[in-house]
Amino acid sequence: MLSRTADSLYWTGRYMERADFLARILEAAIRLAALPAKDQATVTAWAGAIASSGVKSGFDASGRTVSEKSVREYLAFGADNSTSIKACITKARTNARSVRTALTIELWEAINGAWNGLNELGEPTKRDDFTNFLDFVKSTSLAVEGASSRTMLRNDAYWFLRLGMAIERADNTARLLDVKYHLLLPPGERVGGQLDYFQWTTLLREVSALTAYRWVYRESVRPWLVADLLVLNRQMPRSLASCQGMIVSYLERLATDYGRRGPAQRLASNRLTQFNEARIEDIFQSGLHEYIQGFLNENNALAAAVQEQYLV
């Protein structure tokens, strides 16, 4: 397969995943901001959305100040935000279009449908319409993932698309967790207090895992258990360990198909071994924030290794 084709598939996967993640962040912020709490909580919710998406410097540099309106507009549509939902879907579609022949008709229609829908829905500002917009974005990522898994041959095209999704998802889960743990609780609020509790449950909702949490732990929501679920639990499809497992299996399939392993495979499987040996107590002891920062760096290094090995 052409390296450029692999690159476009990989980025189609990453951008579609990112669009979904942004929709989830915005949805959670709307819920948090609706809490009957002090004004501080509202601002915190929207500031948290900016921080979790990793666009704080761009947002600040644009001269905007944090408010529901400005954050919604910036993350969903911001013409000056190169990773807004709109930008992500547009880039995913541009990438997909440039490798149209590597996609099944169903997958292309799902991606093209996301882009058509984006143009039809415009840039809604009313809260109801905006929520519909977010629902639409989430439904497109399901459609894309479903179309790819149901219709694509299990060959390199599929592995590169899925690899992009898995690497992006790992990055997104890590950021979510870090922001909640490190930044979110405003001064004066008690750890374990009502706002804190609500924030943790919202985090679980963001990754569609509130019900899963109750099934797994049968306890009220506790920070270290949420972290355990999102970092180490292999049953949880968005956990760092699960994402890492997917990354390893896609890379191994590529290695088998091509008959050659490389630095990306070695890097990925070393990390998976570390997950298998890790315990959440140890992670907390040495600091969750430090752990996540380390994870994000390694995830980036892995992405760079994939790039180097296959995509140029």
Partner 1 sequence: MNGGGSGTIRDSYKTLAAWLENAPPDLLQARSRQAELFFRRMGVTFAVYGDEESNERLIPFDVVPRIIGADEWGGLEKGLKQRVTAINAFLKDIYGPQDCIRAGIVPADLILTNPHYRPEMQGRRPPGDVWCHIAGVDLVRTGEDGFYVLEDNVRTPSGVSYMLENREMMMRLFPDLFAEHAVRPVEIYTDMLLRSLQASAPSGAGEDPTIVVLTPGPFNSAYYEHSFLADKLGVELVEGGDLFVNDDTVYMRTTEGPKRVDVIYRRIDDDFIDPLTFMPNSAVGVPGLMSAYFAGRVTLANAVGTGVADDKAVYTYMPEIIRFFTGEDAILKNVPTWRCREADALKEVLGKLDELVVKEVGGSGGYGMLVGPTSTKAEIEAFRAKLIADPDDFIAQPTLSLSTAPTLNGGSLSPRHVDLRPFVLSSPAGVRVAPGGLTRVALKEGSLVVNSSQGGGTKDTWVLDN
Residues that bind partner 1 (CB under 8 A): 1-6, 94, 97-101, 105, 108-109, 112-113, 116, 156, 160, 254, 258, 260, 310-312
Cβ proximity to partner 1, 15 vs 108, nearer residue: 108
Please give the single-letter amino acid code of residue 13: G
Distance CA 202, CA 230 (A): 13
Distance CA 275, CA 232 (A): 7
Q: How far apart are CB 146 and partner 1 at their closest, in Å?
A: 17
Q: How far apart are CB 197 and partner 1 at their closest, in Å?
A: 46
Cβ proximity to partner 1, 111 vs 230, nearer residue: 111
For tokens 């639990």, the residue is: 233
Residue 157 contacts residue 96 (beta carbons within 8 Å): no
Cβ proximity to partner 1, 5 vs 172, nearer residue: 5
Q: How far apart are CB 12 and partner 1 at their closest, in Å?
A: 13
> Cβ contacts of residue 30 below 8 Å, gap of 6+?
68, 127, 131
> Cβ contacts of residue 40 below 8 Å, gap of 6+?
186, 188
Q: How far apart are CB 162 and partner 1 at their closest, in Å?
A: 15
Q: How far apart are CB 153 and partner 1 at their closest, in Å?
A: 13
In three-state form (DSSP H/G/I as H, E/B as E, the rest C), the secondary structure along 63-121 is: CCCCCHHHHHHHHHCCCCCCCCHHHHHHHHHHHHHHCHHHCCHHHHHHHHHHHHHHHHH
**Comparing C-alpha atoms, which of 78, 90, 91 is closest to residue 8?**
91
Cβ proximity to partner 1, 7 vs 68, nearer residue: 7
Cβ proximity to partner 1, 38 vs 100, nearer residue: 100
Cβ proximity to partner 1, 52 vs 265, nearer residue: 265
Q: How far apart are CB 100 and partner 1 at their closest, in Å?
A: 4
User: In the numeric block, which tokens belong to residue 267?
Assistant: 């890097």
